Every structure is written in C-alpha cells, then in structure tokens.
Amino acid sequence: MIRKDVLDKGFVKLVDLLGGDDTVVRSARVSFGSGSKGEEKDRKLIAYLLAHGHETPFEHAVFQFHVKCPIFVARQWFRHRWASYNEISGRYTVFDDGEFYVPDRKRIREKVNRQGSVVADVSDEEHRAFAEAIEAECARSVAAYRKMIAEGTAKELARTILPVGMYTQFYWTVNARSLMNFIRLRCDEHAQYEMREYAGVIRDVFREKMPWTAAAFEKGSSSEG
C-alpha cells in the first residue's frame, strides 16, 4: 500500500489496484484475438490509443484510494462523477478528532483569474496572524459542536456548524481513463492550490503504477499545450 501525506493533516493511500499497463494492452488487442507483443510494441500501442482517442481499454485498469482532505477539497473532487465514492458520515459518526485545515500562507484573489488566488505579498507576521485567526475560528466551531453532542443534540444536526475546512475521509474507486481526466483538470495551474496538492500526489501514484500510460498521457498533454 502506498501512503503519501498531503497538506497539514491529510493523506492519500492507494488501497488496491486492478490491472495496469498490461491490462490496457490486453483489453485493446482482444479485438484482434491477440495479446502482448513485447514492451516496445505495447508502449507504442498505448501511445496510439491515447493519441487517437481510443480510451475504453483504459477503463479496465482500476485504482482504489483512501483520501483524507478538507471538506472543500472533497466537494471539488466529487464533481468527477465517473467514479465511485463512499465518505465518512456525520449522521452516524462523531468527529472526535476535530481536525481542520490551517493554511500557512494567506492568499488573495487573483486579478486576472478572479476565481483563483495568489499568495499575498505581506510580512511573515501577517501570514501567521491569518493562520492563527483561521485556527481560532475553526477551534471555536469544533468546541461548540462537541458541546452540542455532549448535550444530546443529534449528530446530523450538530454537524451543521462545522467549517468546510474540517477534514473528511472517503474511498475513491476510479478507472485509469477517468483518473487521467482528473489529473488533467486538477493539476492545471488554474485549479485551487489545495486541490492541486492532492492531484499531484494522485499523478505520482499513477506514474508509479502505470508508467507507460502516464508517459504517453503526459507527452500528449504537453503537446496540446
């Protein structure tokens, strides 16, 4: 199992993997009743499939990840619908750890891409003050949540006061075709910083487990740019 830490308290774990580059090759060549023809030809086949949009063979390689990330990152993640998700439920579970994300740098709205952000040009003291303010507000929400739980408030109601910076956990099962789409969109410089941090880790795992496909995918993406 692969585990990589992300942000201040998050992680990405590769829990399971069905198939890989060889699975893509077999799935593609079954149309002609054949299989592997050696590394050189197999790599060329994968590159050809991606270059010409023949992507269904990549759906036969499937990754399963266990992810811990802030809720606002998860909500962006779940927009990728060609996958399966199961998330921890605040209706059934008390968030005992009360963990939330605290950014170490203040960011301000980008002037050109107004939905994006850039690191603020302020002193280290101002960055620290910003982080401390976020931490104090989130801690206050978590304290109020715990008080409500202790008083017998239903978990499904008490959770309504928790901030979107709270950490959540989920399982994500996704085929390689959808995974490449996720990487293409979420590693882009216009994606939110925190989302890019997770997407970069997913990309690293993809490179390690499906190196031929990853290399062809990245070559094609760079030529498009």
Contact 168, 74 (CB under 8 A): yes
Task: Write out the two tokens for 178.
Answer: 């959808």
Q: In the annotation, is 105 catalytic?
A: no
Which one from 105, 114, 177, 186 is the annotated catalytic residue? 186
How far, in Å, CA of 173 to CA of 21, rounded? 18
Q: Six-digit token pair at 111?
A: 């002037």
Two tokens, residue 7: 């942000």
CA distances from 111 to 39, 103, 138, 146, 194 (A): 48, 21, 28, 40, 19
Name which of 68, 73, 44, 70 is nearest 182 in CA terms.
73
Rounded to whole angstroms, how far apart are CA atoms 58 and 161?
42
Residues serving a catalytic function are 186
